Chain A
């Protein structure tokens, strides 16, 4: 037991010195669990997050926007894949991870349990949801678990166009007809608060967060990230003439930051617990695609086996 303690101690020193932990290195079991939980949650978010945006690919209003949106959602699939791969380095299979998602044992970002009801939602999601995600992901490029950090570096490079495409959609709508501008404002009204909630509970209500920070898995607190996001986003809204739906939003000269209103935490926890408008739909869709693909996966595996056997035979 004494030795265990000292290993943990040295592990702590090691990560504090900004060293990366690699898959086969010794790590506290709790660290392993935390990294698996966080990475898989992140992977599931990328994958489930495809659904609300894929919802508009076939209805994109121009060929250009159709291509961009499709490329964007495809990127998210890639991100999911990078992250599943990074998680698998810790000895858990993708099958197990998917099983945890489908049985509700693993969570994904609650933001994707809201519906995308108009085209402007493609703008708002790209601008705000990807924007909030980037805030988090830039921080995670320096996370202590090596494969996670490397996946995040790749992801961040690709993310840069996501927020811009969303903002461009908003910009065009805001400068468009009266109906288009109203569509943009309506989307901002709906997506603003859920986007702020993406950063998670406030620091006083986020016990796991402190340990994650200590292990250098997380580098900034929820509230810090949220504040950074607000400060960045408010001027962007002003620039295109849209109004952030928060009467308490006010520049604080002393803090050189925006003060903003309180979030509806009841709603937040309700959605986390599965009571968002789309929780059920998202998982049902995921299960459906997975089950309908079962025979395809089996066939591909069976064919690969046959081919291998044939190769062996012709070599013999």
Chain B
């Protein structure tokens, strides 16, 4: 392929399978942590006490899954790196989460839109990962799939409620979808890491889940009386470590203590 200069001016280097596995596990972990961190911001700010509790539950699930995945990554790396080192000592360019997940919470509908798009993909992906050739990963997926199934159902129900609720909520929900849409497409890109993991039957290409995702999303949209934007342009960069401006602030907040007291144990 001939070189084309642009914003994401990064060429892929050949990597070993071990490195690919590490990268693969880390990106799943980063997705879980960054989303969990975002959702935890809702705590004490929910629209009603019951939903505050529900949102905290999601955050707990995501952060819990992040821990398991970071622990697995630490094992693969095998040089004494800990789960907290991954979370607290890497800079933005080392985080490989989807850009979608670092976007600010906005209002309840904005968060729901983000969740529907991600939860639905995550459901199909983790369903596949329960059969991963890597036993560790399969084990984590088997534990997580129950939670993730619930997440996907919960966020879809909320989208339907808000879409088919009042005139105001319908408008708000539609705008949330329109606003977040450009961050969605990135989730279906394929790169060397994913390719290698798919070949080894360890991971799964999200591109191959696109149809299942699309038909589920269409179904939810229809029930919610909402429409998907037709725009096909999507932002990209998360899996390469090129992020939106938001991630830096997430890390500044999250990592503040270990950075300020580098010798301390917590």
Task: Give A residues with C-beta under 8 Å from B.
Answer: 47, 50-51, 54, 57-67, 70-71, 73-74, 77-78, 80-81, 84, 119, 172, 176-177, 179-180, 285, 288-290, 292-300, 302-303, 306
Contacts and interface: CB of A to CB of B under 8 A. Distances in A.
B56 interface: yes
B55 to A, nearest CB: 9
Contact of B67 (A47, A54, A63, A306): A63
A179 B60 contact: no
Contact of B43 (A73, A172, A176, A306): A73
Contacts of A63: 33, 63, 66-67, 70, 83-84, 87
B98 to A, nearest CB: 19
A59 B168 contact: no
A1 B195 CA distance: 86
Q: What 4 A-B pairs have minimum CB-CB distances, sorted nearest first?
A: A293-B47, A299-B165, A299-B169, A61-B257
B171 to A, nearest CB: 10
27 contacts: A47-B44, A61-B257, A63-B87, A65-B266, A67-B63, A70-B59, A73-B43, A74-B43, A74-B56, A74-B60, A77-B49, A77-B53, A81-B50, A177-B261, A177-B263, A177-B264, A285-B45, A289-B46, A295-B172, A296-B51, A296-B108, A297-B47, A298-B165, A298-B168, A299-B161, A300-B165, A302-B165
Interface of B: 33, 37, 40-41, 43-53, 56-57, 59-60, 63-64, 66-67, 70, 83-84, 87-88, 107-109, 160-162, 164-166, 168-169, 172, 253-254, 256-258, 261, 263-266
Nearest to B86: A63
Given A58-B254, A59-B256, A303-B164, A50 B66 contact: no
B84 A62 contact: yes
A238 B254 CA distance: 32
A119 B257 contact: yes
Contact of A67 (B53, B67, B263, B266): B67
Given A61-B266, A74-B60, A285-B44, A306 B164 contact: yes
B44 A51 contact: yes
Given A119-B257, A289-B47, A77 B52 contact: yes
B264 A176 contact: yes
Given A70-B60, A172-B265, A296-B47, A78 B53 contact: yes
Contacts of A58: 37, 40-41, 253-254
B40 A66 contact: yes
Contacts of B109: 296
B44 A73 contact: yes
A290 B48 CA distance: 7
B176 to A, nearest CB: 12
Contacts of A67: 60, 63-64, 67
